């Protein structure tokens, strides 16, 4: 049975695809910040796409307490097994006693480590996602700490058999989030319910200015720095209404906040735009200081984009390496 001990982390939690169906009771969805990278990691190790896995900000170090299979996706980083460099976006065999070292992100900021098998965690309201503010899900509702053990059940399957069926899987460069980050971050939005309170000048400003991700961003929301939207300030607080990941709130300070995975279920600030779901994955990978822009998308196109994204999350494509495949290519 795959078993890993956490040796070191900065901020890591167990997440899955999210906790749906309880928002009317105030329970946030939570789940992986970058869902595209999370489902890729799961499929690389043969797990269902939405299975629980480790989400890590910054480096993480794990020791195999028994033979295990893992895959690392998300931010571009350097990884090594017992000091020997290995590739991201590939299934990795971790022999008992070996140490997997995942370095600091080079491009992006969130790293996913999937472990082959069903990892044991607190399943509450149908999800293993850790919601630290509520203290539930994951391992004891808190971030991982050194000494924690992540156990995965293969349900009777032999690890060697699993390995032989998945060991050639990989995600090519174009399918990785780092590739998209290199093109620059443009968040596609549709107008929000309070678009009407913005002056046309301010709407134009939102769509033409470059904002940067502020340091006071977390799993609940990403704050942006940039020119304030003066016309939204007039509105102040509204009667609370339901909000979600991707909603662009404008509090009285006039600079936008994009709500993210742990977003509160209701809010009272004007929502001037809504980011299409796949682009919230991209924003999740933007560390403080990253420039981001907004671009308007028609609602029909937004529906098409979302439909495609939902299908991808349910069955993400991974490739199989052929003869002549070089690990070095995968690594770079």
Q: How far is the CB of 327 from other proteins (least distance, A)?
A: 37
| R_g over Cα of the chain | 20
Site map (CB under 8 A) of other proteins, residues 227-266, x = contact: ------------xxxxxx-xx----------------xxx
Torsion of the alpha carbons at 28, 287, 13 and 164, rounded to the nearest 10? 120
Identity of the residue, 107 or 125, whose beta carbon is nearer to other proteins in the bound complex: 125
- 52 scored as a contact of other proteins (CB under 8 A): no
Look at the alpha carbons of 102, 103, 104, 105 in this order and tell me if their dihedral is positive or negative: negative
Q: Pick from 73, 109, 190, 285 the residue near other proteins by CB under 8 A.
A: 190
State the greatest distance between any 2 C-alpha atoms of the chain, in Å, as a whole number.
63
| Coil/strand/helix, residue 282 | helix
- Residue 325 falls in which region: left (phi positive, over 0), alpha (psi -120 to 50) or beta: beta
- 307 scored as a contact of other proteins (CB under 8 A): yes
- 125 scored as a contact of other proteins (CB under 8 A): yes
- 132 scored as a contact of other proteins (CB under 8 A): no
Identity of the residue, 117 or 256, whose beta carbon is nearer to other proteins in the bound complex: 256
Identity of the residue, 59 or 192, whose beta carbon is nearer to other proteins in the bound complex: 192
Q: How far is the CB of 192 from other proteins (least distance, A)?
A: 7
Q: Which stretch binds other proteins (CB under 8 A): 14-22, 40-48, 92-100, 113-121?
A: 14-22
Decide if 134 contacts 105 (C-beta within 8 A).
no
- 59 scored as a contact of other proteins (CB under 8 A): no
**b/e map 172-194, b = 16+ CB within 10 Å:** eeebbbbebbeeebebbbbbbeb
Q: How far is the CB of 16 from other proteins (least distance, A)?
A: 15
The encoded tokens of residue 71 equal: 């895959």
Q: How far is the CB of 247 from other proteins (least distance, A)?
A: 8
- 28 scored as a contact of other proteins (CB under 8 A): yes
Torsions phi, psi for 193 (to 5 deg): -60, -25
User: Who contacts 215 (Cβ-Cβ below 8 Å, separation ≥6)?
Assistant: 288
Task: Determine the Cα–Cα distance for residues 73 and 112; give it in Å rounded to an integer.
Answer: 5
Task: Determine the Cα–Cα distance for residues 315 and 317; give it in Å rounded to an integer.
Answer: 6
Q: Pick from 153, 164, 199, 306 the residue near other proteins by CB under 8 A.
A: 306
Task: Determine the Cα–Cα distance for residues 60 and 291; give it in Å rounded to an integer.
Answer: 26
Q: How far is the CB of 326 from other proteins (least distance, A)?
A: 38
- 99 scored as a contact of other proteins (CB under 8 A): no
- 173 scored as a contact of other proteins (CB under 8 A): no
Identity of the residue, 304 or 320, whose beta carbon is nearer to other proteins in the bound complex: 304
Contact footprint for other proteins (CB under 8 A):
20-28, 124-125, 131, 133-137, 189-193, 239-244, 246-247, 264-266, 274-277, 297, 299-307, 310-311
């Amino acid at each position: 049975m795959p078993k890993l001990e956490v040796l070191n982390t900065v901020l890591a939690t167990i997440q899955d695809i999210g906790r749906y169906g309880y928002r009317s009771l105030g329970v946030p969805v939570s789940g992986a910040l970058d869902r595209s990278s999370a489902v890729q990691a799961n499929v690389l190790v043969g797990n269902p796409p939405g299975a629980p896995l480790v989400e890590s900000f910054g480096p993480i170090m794990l020791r195999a307490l028994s033979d295990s299979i893992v895959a690392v996706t998300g931010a571009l980083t350097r990884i090594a097994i017992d000091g020997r460099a290995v590739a991201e976006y590939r299934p990795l065999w971790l022999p008992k006693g070996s140490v997997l070292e995942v370095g600091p992100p080079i491009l992006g900021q969130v790293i996913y480590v999937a472990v082959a098998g069903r990892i044991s965690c607190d399943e509450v309201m149908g999800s293993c996602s850790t919601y630290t503010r509520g203290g539930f899900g994951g391992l004891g509702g808190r971030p991982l700490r050194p000494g924690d053990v992540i156990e995965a059940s293969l349900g009777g399957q032999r690890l060697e058999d699993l390995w032989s069926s998945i060991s050639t899987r990989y995600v090519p460069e174009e399918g990785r989030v780092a590739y998209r980050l290199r093109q620059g971050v443009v968040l596609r939005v549709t107008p929000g319910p309070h678009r009407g309170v913005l002056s046309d000048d301010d709407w134009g400003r939102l769509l033409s200015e470059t904002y940067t991700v502020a340091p006071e961003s977390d799993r609940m929301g990403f704050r942006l720095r940039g020119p304030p939207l003066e016309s939204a300030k007039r509105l102040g607080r509204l009667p609370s209404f339901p909000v979600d990941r991707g909603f662009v709130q404008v509090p009285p300070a006039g600079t936008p906040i994009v709500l993210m995975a742990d977003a509160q279920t209701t809010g009272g600030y004007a929502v001037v735009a809504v980011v299409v779901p796949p682009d919230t994955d991209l924003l999740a990978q933007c560390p403080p200081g990253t420039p981001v822009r907004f671009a308007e998308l028609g609602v029909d196109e937004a529906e098409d984009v979302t439909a495609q994204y939902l299908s991808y999350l349910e069955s993400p494509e991974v490739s199989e390496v052929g003869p002549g495949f070089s690990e070095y290519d995968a690594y770079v």
